């Protein structure tokens, strides 16, 4: 009987030589590469900036709520009033954590970063989900709705537990975003909190989707093996965590807190640039001429500064913005003024990237569903840069 290796060698010897003239083109970081098709988000270099399923992000931020946008991304159209009510009811019904997840949150040491809790938590939610192994369109939608509700609760529960705050349950009379703010800040009902809830909601709308960014691409690559939705989401959470991607909003707040006062801002940025450091919250792989989302959130952050009678963070931000444009020709991305708004809300900075997760969950899940509904395994090539072919050296002859 011939061995498998023998068969393989014979097959190789009868195969035509590899076509070397058709070497795929190589773009470091996949820059400018079309890596798939999607009906979810269009990068529109005009005033809209981005469109979700055809709708301008400027209109959605002005007129819509995060719940409507999440529905749009998952179900493909803006909901009618009754559909939105049903969707909100489903979200509220899922504001609960399965027992093992609650136990996990209860034993995590207080110093663990919330993004690490979320990464492990997303995986754990997969183990406890009743549709875990079902990749059908309907099951993926059910899992997505549960994740949209469970993830904010995991963030708020673990945050309250780590900071020895009294246990609070989400309130049925509050919207998704009002609950999120209430569970993070214990605030609800006053004028400033109402304004904060709207700004937070707008930031969630803006964070919800952005075609093939790094975390979404990670989710799609994972989903393309036809593994389960939670595995894809776990990969996405780990990818978002990095400071070059979602982790930038936390890093921006760290920078503001280090600068402390507007009179120190200009010198701080110039020193950072002279030391060849990246200033977080600036630049974008695709949006090189500015990010329309940043302009929206800047306006919101400015208004909130007035309402909160706290101009300090906004003033620091505008100085950094000016210097970065003068010195590097770079524009702020979405993370920059969002950090101003979140600082004004009194949200601890370690929770900024987790808030991004709450929102981008809608986009990630919609991408996983789109990928698995029309799947083709994503499996590209690499350009080899290692040593040329060489003879094998037996172990006793190696130096
Ligand atoms: N601060 C200082 N210089 C910068 C910055 C920055 N934030 N961003 C880019 N540059 C410079 C680079 O040093 C480089 O300069 P050089 O040509 O003199 O070497 C030039 O601009 C081009 O930068 P690249 O890294 O090639 O741009 P790329 O498209 O790969 O990077 C990225 C995009 C990663 C977002 C980059 O701008 C960056 O690191 N920004 C800071 C992190 C950040 O804010 N991330 C959030 C992204 S948005 C999001 O995830 C929601």
**What is the pairing mode between strands 49-52 and 41-44?**
antiparallel
Among 164, 198, 206, CA closest to 181: 198
Domains and CATH numbers, the chain: 41-243+350-373 (1.10.580.10), 250-343 (1.10.230.10)
Q: State residue 1's pLDDT score.
A: 39
Q: Give the pair of three-digit tokens for residue 189.
A: 């009902």
* Cβ(323) – ligand 1 distance below 6 Å: no
In tens, the pLDDT along 299-328 reads 999 999 999 999 999 999 999 999 999 999
> 10 Å Cβ neighbour count for 358?
28
In tens, the pLDDT along 126-135 reads 999 999 999 9
Q: State residue 204's pLDDT score.
A: 98
- How far does the centroid of ligand 1 lie from the alpha carbon of residue 348, in Å? 25
Q: Is a pLDDT exceeding 70 seen at residue 75? A: yes
Integer Cα distance of 96 and 148 in angstroms: 11
In tens, the pLDDT along 326-369 reads 999 999 999 999 999 999 999 999 999 999 999 999 999 999 99
- How far does the centroid of ligand 1 lie from the alpha carbon of residue 273, in Å? 12
* Cβ(209) – ligand 1 distance below 6 Å: no
* Residue bearing the bigger pLDDT, 167 or 4: 167
Q: Is a pLDDT exceeding 60 seen at residue 18? A: no
What mean pLDDT value characterizes the chain?
93
The number of the ligand 1 atom at minimal distance from the alpha carbon of 246 is: 50
- How far does the centroid of ligand 1 lie from the alpha carbon of residue 239, in Å? 17
- How far does the centroid of ligand 1 lie from the alpha carbon of residue 43, in Å? 18
The number of the ligand 1 atom at minimal distance from the alpha carbon of 240 is: 50
The pTM of this model reads 0.93
Q: Give the pair of three-digit tokens for residue 307.
A: 């309402």
* Cβ(360) – ligand 1 distance below 6 Å: no
Provide CB contacts within 8 A for 350, sequence distance 6+: 113, 114, 250
Among 205, 207, 197, 211, CA closest to 60: 205
Name the residues annotated as catalytic.
284, 335
* Cβ(48) – ligand 1 distance below 6 Å: no
Q: Is a pLDDT exceeding 50 seen at residue 245? A: yes
Q: Is a pLDDT exceeding 70 seen at residue 14? A: no
Q: State residue 21's pLDDT score.
A: 53
Q: Is a pLDDT exceeding 90 seen at residue 255? A: yes
- How far does the centroid of ligand 1 lie from the alpha carbon of residue 309, in Å? 33
Q: Give the pair of three-digit tokens for residue 373.
A: 């509904």
- The pick from 283, 287, 321 for probing ligand 1's pocket by mutation, whose C-beta has the most ligand atoms within 8 angstroms, reads 283
* Cβ(246) – ligand 1 distance below 6 Å: yes
Strand ranges across the sheet with 55-56: 41-44, 49-52, 55-56
The number of the ligand 1 atom at minimal distance from the alpha carbon of 283 is: 37
CA-atom Rg of the chain in angstroms: 24
Cα 301 versus chain centre, distance: 20
């Amino acid at each position: 009987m011939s061995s498998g290796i023998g068969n393989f060698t014979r097959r190789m010897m009868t195969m035509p030589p590899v076509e070397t003239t058709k070497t795929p083109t190589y773009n470091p970081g996949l820059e400018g590469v079309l890596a798939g098709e999607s009906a979810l988000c269009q990068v529109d270099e005009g005033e809209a900036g981005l469109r979700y399923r055809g709708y301008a992000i400027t209109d959605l931020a002005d007129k819509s709520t995060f719940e409507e946008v999440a529905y749009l991304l998952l179900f493909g159209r803006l909901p009618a009033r009754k559909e939105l009510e049903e969707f909100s009811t489903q979200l509220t019904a899922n504001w609960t954590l399965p027992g093992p997840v609650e136990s996990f949150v209860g034993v995590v040491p207080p110093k663990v970063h919330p993004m690490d809790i979320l990464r492990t938590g997303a995986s754990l939610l997969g183990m406890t989900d009743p549709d875990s192994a079902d990749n059908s369109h309907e099951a993926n939608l059910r899992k997505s709705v549960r994740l949209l509700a469970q993830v904010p609760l995991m963030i708020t529960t673990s945050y309250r537990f780590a900071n020895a705050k009294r246990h609070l349950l989400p309130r049925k009379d509050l919207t998704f975003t009002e609950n999120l703010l209430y569970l993070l800040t214990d605030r609800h009902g006053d004028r400033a909190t109402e304004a904060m809830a709207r700004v937070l909601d707008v930031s969630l709308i803006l964070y919800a989707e952005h075609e093939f960014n790094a975390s979404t691409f990670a989710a799609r690559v994972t989903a393309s093996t036809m593994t389960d939705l939670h595995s894809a989401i776990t990969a996405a959470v780990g990818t978002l965590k990095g400071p070059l991607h979602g982790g930038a909003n936390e890093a921006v707040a760290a920078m503001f807190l280090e600068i402390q006062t507007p009179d120190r801002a200009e010198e701080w940025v110039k020193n950072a640039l002279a030391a060849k450091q990246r200033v977080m919250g600036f630049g974008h792989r695709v949006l090189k001429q500015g990010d329309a989302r940043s302009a929206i959130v800047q306006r919101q952050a400015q208004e909130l500064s007035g309402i909160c009678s706290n101009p300090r963070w906004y003033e620091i931000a505008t100085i950094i913005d000016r210097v970065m444009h003068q010195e590097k020709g770079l524009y702020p991305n979405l993370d920059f003024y969002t950090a101003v708004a979140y600082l004004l809300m009194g949200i601890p900075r370690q929770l900024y990237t987790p808030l991004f997760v709450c929102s981008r969950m809608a986009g990630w899940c919609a991408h996983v569903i789109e990928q698995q509904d029309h799947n083709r395994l994503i499996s590209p090539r690499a350009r080899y840069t290692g040593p040329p072919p060489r003879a094998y050296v037996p172990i006793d002859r190696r130096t």
